[in-house]
Structure 1
Amino acid sequence: MGVFTYEMEVTTKIPPAKMFKAFVLDGDKLIPKTVPGAIKNVELIEGDGGPGSIKKITFGEGSQFNYVKHKVEALDKENFSYSYSVIEGDALMKSLEKITYEIKIASSPDGGSICKSNSKYFTVGDFEIKEEQIKGGKEKASGLFKAIEAYLLANPNAY
């Protein structure tokens, strides 16, 4: 088994508390609104949404994947950090044991925020992740973050 790690940083004009609430705490409801067709539904299978909870995310028809299951590893509402693992689903492509994401949203000097994420891909056997796969994942994650930012800028009273 190998572990491939990459980090990403995205900035926004939205303050950390508002971005965390929209992106993390209410993301299951907001993402389908901001990126129509990306997610068909999110089902809480186990738990209350906090650490140890398991969610099943079913993707929309245009997605290359059908579903994934996320396990919430950590949720710190006061420090705006969140960690979860993809533990099941066709996005693991039978080549990954799991993918773990750690997200931390911090204040930026201009009153907005900086979202730092760390992703770890735990591979099966000697499978290697190609640079273009990592680049594609970063682009999708950044696009999702920017879609939520655009929604919040267009709806300043939301959250």
Structure 2
Amino acid sequence: MGVFTYEMEVVTKIPPAKIFNALIHDGDKLIPKIVPQAIKTVELIEGDGGPGSIKKITFGEGSQFDYVKHKVEALDKENFIYSYSVIEGDALMKSLEKITYEIKLAPSPDGGSLCKNISKYYTIGDFAITGEQIKAGKEKSSGLFKAIEAYLLANPDAY
């Protein structure tokens, strides 16, 4: 088994508490509403949304995948840290044991936020992640983040 790690940083004008509430706290409801072509539904299968909880994410019609199941690993509302693992679903492509994500939000000097996302792909056997796959993953993550940012900028009283 190999582990492939990549990091991505995104800067936004939205303060950490506001983006955390929209993206993490209310994301299960908000994301399908603003990007239904990407994520159709998010269903809590087990737990209360905190660590140990399992969520089923059903992708929209434009996705190459049908669904994944996430396990919430950590949720730190005070420090704006959220981590989860993809533990089941066709996005694992029968070549990955799991994918973990850790999202950290920190204040930026201009009153906005710096969002750091660390992704780790745990491969099965000698499977290797390609540069194209990493680029595609970064583009999807960035697109989702930018969609939430655009929603919050267009709706300044939300959250």
Q: Which residue of 1 aligns with 2:70?
A: 70
Q: Deviations over 1:75-111 (max 9, x none)?
A: 0000000000000000000000000000000000000
Normalising by structure 2, report the TM-score.
0.99
Residue 143 of structure 1 pairs with residue 105 of structure 2? no
- Aligned mates of 1:116, 1:86 — CA distance in 2: 18
Q: CA deviation at 1:32?
A: 1.3
User: In the alignment, residue 133 of structure 1 is paired with which amino acid?
Assistant: Q
Q: Which residue of 1 aligns with 2:7?
A: 7
- Aligned mates of 1:80, 1:97 — CA distance in 2: 27
Question: Runs of 4+ in structure 1 displaced over 2 angstroms?
Answer: none
SS at match of 2:109: coil
Contact 2:74 2:83 (8 Å CA) reproduced: yes
Q: Which residue of 1 aligns with 2:94?
A: 94
Q: Which residue of 2 aligns with 1:60?
A: 60
Normalising by structure 1, report the TM-score.
0.99
Mapping for residues 115-126 of structure 1, pairs under 5 Å = 115-126=115-126
Contact 2:32 2:42 (8 Å CA) reproduced: no
Contact 2:54 2:71 (8 Å CA) reproduced: yes
- Count of aligned pairs: 159
User: In the alignment, residue 44 of structure 1 is paired with which amino acid?
Assistant: L
SS at match of 2:135: helix
Q: CA deviation at 1:19?
A: 0.4
- Aligned mates of 2:63, 2:72 — CA distance in 1: 23
- Aligned mates of 1:62, 1:109 — CA distance in 2: 37
| Structure 2, unpaired ranges of 5+ | none
Q: CA deviation at 1:37?
A: 1.9
Q: CA deviation at 1:10?
A: 0.1
- Aligned mates of 2:36, 2:65 — CA distance in 1: 16
Aligned Cα RMSD in Å? 0.6
| Structure 1, unpaired ranges of 5+ | none
- Aligned mates of 1:153, 1:40 — CA distance in 2: 23
Overall identity of the aligned pairs, in %: 85
User: In the alignment, residue 63 of structure 1 is paired with which amino acid?
Assistant: S
Q: Which residue of 1 aligns with 2:133?
A: 133
Q: CA deviation at 1:36?
A: 2.5
SS at match of 1:49: coil
